[in-house]
Amino acid sequence: MELYKLTAQQIQKLLRSRQVSCLEVTKSVIARIEETEPNIHAYIATTFEQAMEQAIRVDEKILRGEELPPLAGIPVAIKDNICTKSIPTTCASKIINGFKPAYDATVIERLKKANMVIIGKTNMDEFAMGSSTENSAFGPTHNPWDLQRAPGGSSGGSAAVVASCEATLAIGSDTGGSIRQPASFCGVVGMKPTYGLISRYGLIAFASSLDQIGPLSKDVRDCALLLNVLAGYDPKDSTSINIDLPDYTKFLTTDIAGMKIGIPKEYFCEGLDPGVEKRIQESIAVFSGLGAECVDISLPHTKYAIAVYYILATSEASSNLARYDGVQYGYRAEEAENLLDMYRLTRSNGFGAEVKRRIMLGTYALSSGYYDAYYLQAQRVRTLIKNDFEEGFKKCDIILTPTSPTVAFKLGEKIDDPLKMYISDIFTISANLAGIPGISVPCGLSDGLPVGLQLLGPVFGEGKILQAAYSYEVGTDLCVCPIA
């Protein structure tokens, strides 16, 4: 039995019945990484020794008959912008290469409390700025479906390790689609929760009002199980929301009769690949066949989302990344003759081209004389986009869209054309601007590559989109990662 191929729930049953040990599962995943990683390049760092120690501790608890959390012993990979105590956290950037945090992010504390086995840190676009995982100081990650193609970004490493079975589960971050778009490209499940549902404490910031941590998995049930671990109030995060949380696995039923699913006309537009649109239209028919009512809705300010996002996100990035100056930690240019030279050379040499581009865009938008015309106006339009969703959810329970307008594109195809790259996120960005949850699930293939179906819900509507996603998964058997 190739244990690395199994879902978390399948491994869970084997561990509980003592048919396999946690150490056997961990060694199986490690062997898979050693076999596959030279081609995929999805990890920046691996933690095999620590992982095996964690696995042994879980096995000892099982032998003692201790009652363990549902995901105890399950291997999980971590995006490298999430702080891990004493383990390098680089954001895939030269400027903090070698940085070892003195503390764990809250989500890491939750994973450890759940007795999960942390297997390594995954590659990403530098500081989460990108849609292809090509903007990494450590080189690009390759899509397991086709090594000549991008896995999406910025959580491309996390999506790729799940798709290639180099981890059972993974966590990423989503600022404008950075979990959902890679999930779509790699044929796995990825969720961006409601803003404030999962603590951002220990997540190295890109755009603080948009960033959100979330799970990636092989199927919808595993996604719900990992969401149970990650979600919860954290007083260390000022944006964390203190609410009573459900067990998200309780929503995994196949009864969606009468559920209203909104189909926004603005998401079926010029630039949507015909093969992708065909799969999405087939998915709409599947939901209708399952008893859901599909209704047409309008989100009229969608056309402004890209412009709004790339003003607000870059402005926040300009502020957040000002701390990387070569003074306190991280990379420092040694050839500088004075303090100003040191600042200039450190940031010029330490940041990659895309990060520098976004810092400059954000600095310009915030500068005197332009703040009102750009940043303030973008905030106003963001409110209109949020209002569109609130009005839309008065007519439906959830909203269905494509996750990405295309399947995975070739490595190098868009790296020299920022506008083409930015448009890759056209269907995911609005959810971040509105702070609502979204999930991407596989819905078939186009030209032999995965297509992602996106389901969006109202604030704290994770249960509704999980229910719909699970019903679709069971009804089609398309949400099973076939790479291994």
**Catalytic machinery residues:** 79, 154, 178
Strands 189-192 and 260-264: unpaired
Residue 430 φ then ψ, to 5°: -60, -35
**Cα–Cα distance, 42 to 123 (Å, whole number):** 5
| Entry field: residues in the chain | 484
Q: Residue type at 408?
A: A
Tokens of 260: 């209203």
3-state secondary structure the chain: CCHHHCCHHHHHHHHHCCCCCHHHHHHHHHHHHHHHHHHHCCEEEECHHHHHHHHHHHHHHHHCCCCCCCCCCCEEEEECCECECCECCCCCCHHHCCCCCCCCCHHHHHHHHCCCEEEEEECCCHHHCCCCCCCCCCCCCCECCECCECCCCCCHHHHHHHHCCCCCEEEEECCCCCCHHHHHHHCCEEEECCCCCECCCCECCCCCCCCCEEEEECCHHHHHHHHHHHECCCCCCCCCCCCCCCCHHHHCCCCCCCCEEEEEHHHCCCCCCHHHHHHHHHHHHHHHHCCCEEEEECCHHHHHHHHHHHHHHHHHHHHHHHHCCCCCCCCCCCCCCCHHHHHHHHHHHHCCHHHHHHHHHHHHHHCCCCCHHHHHHHHHHHHHHHHHHHHHCCCCCEEEEECCCCCCCECCCCCCCHHHHHHCCCCCHHHHHHCCCEEEEEEEEECCEEEEEEEECCCCCHHHHHHHHHHHHHHHCCCCCCCC
Measured in whole angstroms, the distance separating CA 277 from the mean position of its chain's CA atoms is 23
